[in-house]
Structure 1
Amino acid sequence: MTIVLNSTPLIYLAKVGLISMIEETGDDLLIPGLVFDEVVTVGKQRGDADSFIIEECIKRGTIKIEDPASKFIGFESEIHAAERDVMALAREYKCIAIIDDGIAREIGEMCNVDVHGTFYLIFQAIRRGSLSKQESVEKMSEMIRKGWRIGSEQYIKFLELIDEI
């Protein structure tokens, strides 16, 4: 399976030590060049530790940089160019796009792109046995402490869904 990652999921998974969780799946992990620029180029200039972790994944070849053959047209005022490239690449590969921005996900769904957020990756890790329910709650809390934004209703829904797994 192929997964195309946007900046925010990639950054926060790296911040809490969960990059290995997506690397171990054996899935093809792709990011467009604009995501690389946001995460690694700008991140390294700021001295963000997560940017160095992600760069190492790229050097190892577990995350590959690839730009879409065609652009995702429209919605320029609603979503960032990197999010549009993530969706264009996911549409080309007929695969999953991982984007946390709610508006971008809604637009992706309207345009028949299979869009999920960071929760999806965490749920998949729990199902695989790579992450326990308790670890997932701890990691989510750590992500929030490090600046990841999530609404209280979404977080409650996450906790409820964890119990159902």
Structure 2
Amino acid sequence: MVSNASPLIYLSMVGNLRLLNNLFNEILIPEEVFREVCGMRDTPDSIVISSAVDDGWIHTKDVVSRDIDSLAKSSGIDIGEAAAILLAKETEALLLIDDKMGRTTAEILGVRCLGTVGVLLRALSISIIDLSEYVEILDRMIDSGFRLDSKVYRLAVRIAKDLDEK
């Protein structure tokens, strides 16, 4: 699995970055995402992410393609998103990304995507978290600035309740 910056940041902000380690065998981030998240910030979330890299359960990896800048410019996404998309394409990995334009760009390039809400649903579906934890994490992420349309929020909670009943 390859991750873009925002899922790492928001899961870290609410103390749940470890969910990724529980759900995925390998977590890769391009150097551009690492620099975006940890390079010029000294925030609690950047420290958690940097520690995960130091501990070896998140790995940084260089993107082979030299098309990062052109992909970013042509699709209106940032450098980190472009690098994450290209790394996921190169490694044929699932891409963890929330940004709508980034997801659209990835899907056009044939990259499979999952969002942070999808990570929480996966964790719920295999009982890593329960329904109340799911809703609490989602609410704390929103309180921390995670953007989620109210319709999508209601749908995410409904899907979680359906999963919880099974």
TM-score (norm: length of structure 1): 0.92
How far, CA to CA, are the matches of 1:50 and 1:75 in structure 2?
A: 25
How far, CA to CA, are the matches of 1:34 and 1:87 in structure 2?
A: 11
- TM-superposed deviation, 1:114: 0.5
Secondary structure of 1:65's aligned partner = strand
What is residue 32 of structure 2 aligned with on the other side?
A: 34
What is residue 123 of structure 1 aligned with on the other side?
A: 121
How far, CA to CA, are the matches of 1:25 and 1:157 in structure 2?
A: 22
- TM-superposed deviation, 1:115: 1.2
How far, CA to CA, are the matches of 1:18 and 1:90 in structure 2?
A: 23
TM alignment of 1:86-97, pairs within 5 A: 86-97=84-95
What is residue 71 of structure 2 aligned with on the other side?
A: 74
How far, CA to CA, are the matches of 2:45 and 2:147 in structure 1?
A: 17
- TM-superposed deviation, 1:43: 2.2
Please provide the CA RMSD for this pair: 1.3
Kindly provide the CA deviation profile for residues 120-164 of structure 1, in whole angstroms up to 9, marking residues without a partner as x. 111111112111111010001001111111111211111111122
Q: Unpaired segments of 5 or more residues in structure 1? A: none
How far, CA to CA, are the matches of 1:25 and 1:115 in structure 2?
A: 15
How far, CA to CA, are the matches of 1:156 and 1:130 in structure 2?
A: 21
User: Amino acid of the residue matched to residue 29 of structure 2?
Assistant: I
2:82 counterpart of 1:84: yes
What is residue 149 of structure 1 aligned with on the other side?
A: 147
Secondary structure of 2:83's aligned partner = helix
Secondary structure of 1:113's aligned partner = coil
2:47 counterpart of 1:52: yes
2:9 counterpart of 1:5: no
Answer with 81-90 or 23-32: which moved more: 23-32
User: Amino acid of the residue matched to residue 150 of structure 1?
Assistant: L
TM-score (norm: length of structure 2): 0.91
Kindly provide the CA deviation profile for residues 49-82 of structure 1, in whole angstroms up to 9, marking residues without a partner as x. 0111111100000000012111355351511111
Secondary structure of 1:76's aligned partner = helix
How far, CA to CA, are the matches of 1:112 and 1:135 in structure 2?
A: 33
How far, CA to CA, are the matches of 1:146 and 1:25 in structure 2?
A: 23
